[in-house]
A and B are shown apart, each in its own frame.
Chain A
Amino acid sequence: MKYLPLIWAGLWRKKARTIFTMLSIVVAFLLFGLLQGINQGFNTVVQNLDVDRLYVTAKTNLTDGLPIAYASRIKAVPGVRQLSYWTYFAGYYQDSRNPIPAFATDPTALFDIYKDLKIKPEYLQAMQRTRTGVLINEQLAAKYHWKLGDRIPLGTSIWTNKDGSNTWNFDVVGIFDSSALGAGFPGFYLNQSYFDEAAAFGRGTVHYYIVAIDDPAQATAVSQRIDALFANSTNETRTQTESALAQMQLKQLGDINFIVNAIVGAVLFTLLFLTANTMMQSVRERTGELAVLKTLGFSDGKVLSLVLIESLALCVFAAAVGIALAATAFPLLKPIFGKFQMPGIVVAMGAGLALLLAFVSGFAPAWRARQLNIVDALAGR
């Protein structure tokens, strides 16, 4: 602690250089915090998806439908607790640039499977009573100022109704909270029975079966039983856990983990040279001063420690500011990831990287300071 004034003075010897180096570190760790946080966010979303939910799709392609008649047969498979389904509606509101993640489903069964979706029971009852009813989440309601009782005309690029129109009219009968599952979770549900009845074609099919099972440990066995049921039929199935499906869909976007690590790695690698250069210049400029310290009785080890601590102070302080800024930005990501905070692992990784950066960039100049020959340094050699 008593050496703090010496370390502090060394750090601020060239104020502008120190400030610019600190800013570089702050920006790098802000980027690290945000990217790693987003990466962790995706992972969290995937992890939030339970392994006791299975998705059954057509084996050929996710978008190929499966007969609705499969429902009763799947539900009869031992280990299956509940079953619902989704048919992708490809909706938009007023303009195709306002896509709506709308699905036709059996709402009562769906909300029984997804316990994290918060809805009042009377809304589900209203949905059963109202053929043209829809349930929407709070985000959509807020975005388009929709409220209970509103009649919403929804366009679709796929489905023509029996009236020959691509515009379907729905009545809002309930609003639910899907924030726990993040913004990626669909927030607009219509009755499959109504859709099936009103669609001009494609009736009797669904895109996904969502299956809740009794025991997550039996996920593989139940999946195999379901797929075996429809093997060699015209509509073979592929059953996988919800998280496996989500991971597969995420991979279609690219390996986010790799991209994030590559960007952060490149930034930190560049930063390493920048910080090392700053520390090396700083030590070079202070050769005489460090020689004076040694003359006055500072040992080689103490001089090495002073330079290393200086590097540590520079890196850790700036990194902490960067991570803190990233953490404050995280609430802004809530609409995407749902309830989400800077994961502790990112803070820990940031601290570890800051220490590593400080040590690697500070060691060479610190060693140079340690090896300084007093007589030569004082003579300016």
Chain B
Amino acid sequence: MSALVTLRNVTKSYTRGKQKVEVLHGVDLQIESGEFLALMGPSGSGKTTTLNLIAGLDQPTGGEVEVSGSRIDRLARGALADWRARNIGFIFQFYNLLPVLTAEANVEVPLLLTDLSRSERRRRVQIALQLVGLADRAKHKPNELSGGQQQRVAIARAIVADPTLLVCDEPTGDLDRQNAEEIMNLLKALNRTQGKTIVMVTHDPRAAEYASRELHLDKGKLAKEEVRHVA
């Protein structure tokens, strides 16, 4: 396998009021293509910041971030937005669906940024919803769906544009045990059958068990690594 994501000596600091907060201190990290990585650690350890940097949502203060051969730390805001649209699928803890749109319209949103025809967009949306088992709920709005179903719609939205990398920020954090397991099985299936590389931030050790590798961050540094052979 080759490295899909490479972080070299990445630092990140924020200024909050008059105070400068150092979040990451020289993180080096490689994520192979097709890998399912769980980023764990206590609150404030820098998990979400690392995820944001990998996903091109934020820029490092220092160091290099290379994803799919692109130095995304050098991209301007507009170019970075285009890059995200082409390369990254996002799954959030609270689903972050647009409440006024139906499930299928929500899934279609990333495809609006492509040149695909309307019929092709619709076809892909249907496939994505079938993959997550929600083809029969296409016309439902988020408030008409359960939390688990909403997260499935969010996953369909994340994969519909066929991105290289899925980034998940606490994808089971708002779900009960059964729904959390279903979501994790779905992510595992996407990793195994579709070959999607997944980087997941989680507090939940049960969710982390689905990953092929666990990285623990503490106070902005990589603290522990655990490679797992998942059945």
Contact = CB atoms under 8 A, between A and B. Distances in A.
B96 A292 contact: yes
Q: Which among B86, B101, B110, B112 has the greatest number of chain A C-beta atoms within 10 A?
A: B112
B85 A9 contact: no
Label chain A's interface by main secondary structure. helix
Nearest to B85: A297
B52 A375 contact: yes
Contact of A300 (B81, B84, B96): B81
Nearest to B118: A2
A260 to B, nearest CB: 40
Contacts of B98: 6, 9, 289, 292
B84 A296 contact: yes
A300 B100 contact: no
Contacts of A296: 84-85, 90, 109-110, 113, 157
A20 interface: no
B205 interface: no
Given A2-B118, A297-B110, A13 B96 contact: no
B24 interface: no
B181 interface: no
Contact of A301 (B55, B78, B110): B78
A70 B84 CA distance: 91
Given A12-B100, A292-B98, A375-B58, A298 B105 contact: no
A299 B100 contact: no
Interface in A280-307: 288-289, 292-301
A295 B100 contact: no
Contacts, number: 67
A232 to B, nearest CB: 82
A374 interface: yes
Contacts of B224: none
5 contacts: A3-B112, A5-B105, A294-B81, A298-B85, A300-B77
A297 B86 CA distance: 8
A10 interface: yes
Interface of B: 52, 55, 57-58, 77-78, 81-86, 90, 92, 96, 98-101, 105, 109-110, 112-113, 118, 121, 157
A293 B112 CA distance: 11
Nearest to A288: B96
A13 B100 contact: yes
A289 B81 CA distance: 16
A3 to B, nearest CB: 6
Question: What is the interface of chain B mostly: helix, strand, loop, or mixed?
Answer: helix
Contacts of A295: 55, 57, 84, 90, 96
Interface string A316-356: 00000000000000000000000000000000000000000
A298 B85 CA distance: 8
Closest 5 CB pairs of A and B: A297-B85, A9-B100, A299-B81, A297-B84, A292-B96
Contacts of A294: 81
Contacts of A300: 77-78, 81
Contacts of B113: 296-298
Contacts of B57: 295, 374-375, 378
Contacts of B58: 374-375
Interface in A13-53: 13
Contact of B112 (A2, A13, A299): A2
B96 A299 contact: no
A312 to B, nearest CB: 19
A378 B90 CA distance: 12
Contacts of A375: 52, 57-58
Contacts of A374: 57-58
Contacts of B78: 299-301
Contacts of A288: 96
